[in-house]
Structure 1
Amino acid sequence: MGHGKDWQQDVLRELAGTPNAETDQPATPPAARPEPPAEHRDPPRESAPSTPPTPRGVRNPRAPVPTPESVPTVDPRLALALGPPRHGDSVARRTGRALRKLTTSVGQEVADQTRLVQELQQPVTTGRVVAVTSIRGGVGKTTMSALLGRVFNHYRHDPVLTLEADAALGTLPVRMGAESVRWSCSDLAHILTPDMRLTDITGYLVPVVDGGWLLPASRGRVGAPLDMRTYRTVTLALRRYFAVTVVDCETLPGEVARTAMDTAHARVVVAPMTAEGVNGTRVVLDWLARLPHSALATAVVALTAHSPDATLDLEAASAHLRETGVPVVALPYDRHLAQGGPIHTAVLGRATRDAAIRLAAEALHRAVRVR
């Protein structure tokens, strides 16, 4: 794949199947690359083709990697219990918003949205990694990762990857709407080679309905969690193929989470809209300030509300966190997100969509421009 100023053009050329413009020939003869199995191909093959030499640091480089079975993200018997998706806003709230539009000017709102979209669509010369983590589970970290992945997929015209670096039973594939998964980070770490093209790589990934790709940490079974060595191998190899990679990390202070936060271009710390959540997040921000390469300048805090009756003074809580110089974006309570299951962008609450766009723009701004 090309580098430098033509990076994005090379990526788009590979997606279209067009030969490299400089050589008018594919970068690598087809016979020299492993043929990636298509995710939707049925039935799956019994084993993957013999793999070429594996990059340094990967275990068992000569051992052939069997093709794993496709596993549903949700047990079919349970999928029936999900029910239809609820709209994030109530009927009364949607009606009230429609009436306000008839009586007020929307000029400033349009200007703000245009500015955020321009921020999201800014060009990047090398792949940017946005790591998402939290101080404990259940605060909306995976939901926030899925929202960011969908926002980048929607507004950018180059490849976007959402990568799960959570424990063995992470829920990112479910939130991203994947019906089944096959290849995981650990599987891919044994297959990646420097000569692979984007079209080779995407054969091992899960295509997301709204665009982009997903790489899960596991196939939803109890097993060894993703380790730091595998995470480094996969992210260092894949970031050159994707303009933006959103990483759903494990919770701090896990080893993979600390590695992801230390090596990412931007960091999103998700915190619940509670006093203890804000207090713990301030501790994390103070830790980021002590990292050797000024990680605090590339951090954003996402405050999430898990109840419509939250009583925390949002302005006071945000001011406490902003003392560190980090921007704070509040994600309001949303009935659709609280329902669980796949996230359907069309039925998210208006305030939720606006907050997700604002958060993505803040993160990408820091990933690209802050040094």
Structure 2
Amino acid sequence: MPNGDNWQSDVLRDLRGASGPPSSVPPAPPTAAQEPTAAQEPSAPQASGTERIPAPTQPPAPAPTPAPQQVPAPPRPRRPSAPDSRAVVDNVLSGTARRPQRGEPVGVRITRAVRRIVSSSAAREVAELTRTAEALQQPVTTGRQIAVTSIRGGAGKTTVAALLGTAYAHYRQDPVLLVEADPALGSLPLRLGAETLRWTTADLADIVEPQMSLLDVTGYLVQLPENAWLLPGSQGQIGAMLDTSAYERVMVALRRYFGVSVVDCETLPAEVARVALSASQARVLAAPATLDGVTSTYAVLQWMQGLPRHMIDGTVVVLSTMVARPGIDVAATAEKLRSTGAGVHVLPYDRHLAAGGVLRTELLARPTRLAAARLAAEVFQLSQKRR
């Protein structure tokens, strides 16, 4: 597994530095020696004709040097008080979820295992996974930011963002950040299995400072398995908002701490989503494998064709099949979308994903895990092309 470069090593160790002492006023220069006065002049000769030798004069004592005055340090801005933790799932609803299902029925899993044993597909699959892992483990010189959005709700964008984040956290050695930039309707904390929330994206915009270390920053984030952290968009309040200036401050400040950041954006054409798409190094458009879903997504891709070329070249569409038998020809639809210049990946139907709730990768169907790894590798490679 390749090691990270100097930037990654610097991120992973403590970046805390001591601040310099407060400045002081330089001491006043010593006062000049006083000139001799008339009383200190030699005495006039006596009438008897003898001269009196004058006594030697003592030099005046120097004036005392005033003590240096300390300039008070400017007051540090007050940080907002820590908000109370809030449960991701309300206690009233905590017992309503059923036991999660596996992505495939047991019969399908057995059949697939037998086919892999008696055919040569197992060796090809291992070779492909090896290439995918190598692509995902490439070092970065600066943090890569990947924005995930959609043109409508229910397209699976949060699921796609969670799959990407967990794939990067599994394969990479440097820290991975998942950011929820959909404060009003986001469900990324639930999908990632977070239990409580405290600090949000808007809160951190007023807290993060350049001299903070990685340890300081992660104290405001939600710890996830492996080497991943979550920054929620809100505490689940209805009507919560995130302005573009707060989003930009947070993403610029956090970029140097994390090798890869995956942003679960609002749906287009929200302003934060447009800013996230233009500022990221790669973009993912989630679309349901339905006629109305692909129609609206195709319109967005046509609009992107009028933007600078790197926008469409760095975009991947993920077609999510919500049912076992979709109402469109998925392969033909993918080819039509690729004609715009964007990449296209198909996320197969998976019972575990379709049920919602906490994403558990060990319960995903094998085709889903392979598709997610391929998607993560291609998106990461696209982000590497734009510096």
1:342 correspondence with 2:332: no
Gaps of 5+ in 2: 23-73
1:27 correspondence with 2:24: no
Aligned pairs (5 A) from 1:207-246: 207-246=223-262
Taking every aligned residue pair, what percent have the same amino acid on both sides? 49
Please give the TM-score of this superposition, normalised by the length of structure 2: 0.82
The 3-state SS of whatever aligns with 1:131 is: strand
1:69 correspondence with 2:84: yes
**How big is each residue's C-alpha offset from its partner over 1:118-139, in whole Å with a ceiling of 9 and x where there is no partner?**
1110000000000000000011
1:324 correspondence with 2:314: no
1:191 aligned residue (196, 207, 222): 207
Q: Cα distance, 1:199 vs. partner? A: 0.7
Per the alignment, residue 81 of structure 1 pairs with 96
- Distance (whole Å) between structure 1 residues aligned to residue 305 and residue 151 of structure 2: 16
Per the alignment, residue 301 of structure 1 pairs with 317
Please give the TM-score of this superposition, normalised by the length of structure 1: 0.85
* Kept in 2: contact 1:52–1:193 (CA 8 A): no
Per the alignment, residue 173 of structure 2 pairs with 157
> Aligned pair in 2 of structure 1 residues 335, 31: CA closer, same or farther (>3 Å)?
farther
Q: Cα distance, 1:187 vs. partner? A: 0.7
Aligned pairs (5 A) from 1:89-238: 89-105=104-120, 106-238=122-254
The 3-state SS of whatever aligns with 1:77 is: coil
The 3-state SS of whatever aligns with 1:219 is: coil
Per the alignment, residue 264 of structure 1 pairs with 280
* Kept in 1: contact 2:136–2:380 (CA 8 A): yes
Q: How many residues align?
A: 332
- Distance (whole Å) between structure 1 residues aligned to residue 88 and residue 144 of structure 2: 28
The 3-state SS of whatever aligns with 2:93 is: helix
Larger relative helix fraction: 1
> Aligned pair in 2 of structure 1 residues 210, 85: CA closer, same or farther (>3 Å)?
farther
* Kept in 2: contact 1:186–1:226 (CA 8 A): yes
- Distance (whole Å) between structure 1 residues aligned to residue 147 and residue 191 of structure 2: 17
Per the alignment, residue 65 of structure 2 pairs with none
The 3-state SS of whatever aligns with 1:294 is: helix
Per the alignment, residue 13 of structure 1 pairs with 13
> Aligned pair in 2 of structure 1 residues 210, 81: CA closer, same or farther (>3 Å)?
farther
Q: Cα distance, 1:79 vs. partner? A: 1.6
Per the alignment, residue 39 of structure 1 pairs with none
The 3-state SS of whatever aligns with 1:146 is: helix
Per the alignment, residue 43 of structure 1 pairs with none
- Distance (whole Å) between structure 2 residues aligned to residue 5 and residue 148 of structure 1: 23
**How big is each residue's C-alpha offset from its partner over 1:137-178, in whole Å with a ceiling of 9 and x where there is no partner?**
011011111111100000000000000001323110000100
Q: Cα distance, 1:197 vs. partner? A: 1.0
The 3-state SS of whatever aligns with 1:267 is: strand
Per the alignment, residue 282 of structure 1 pairs with 298
Q: Cα distance, 1:279 vs. partner? A: 1.8
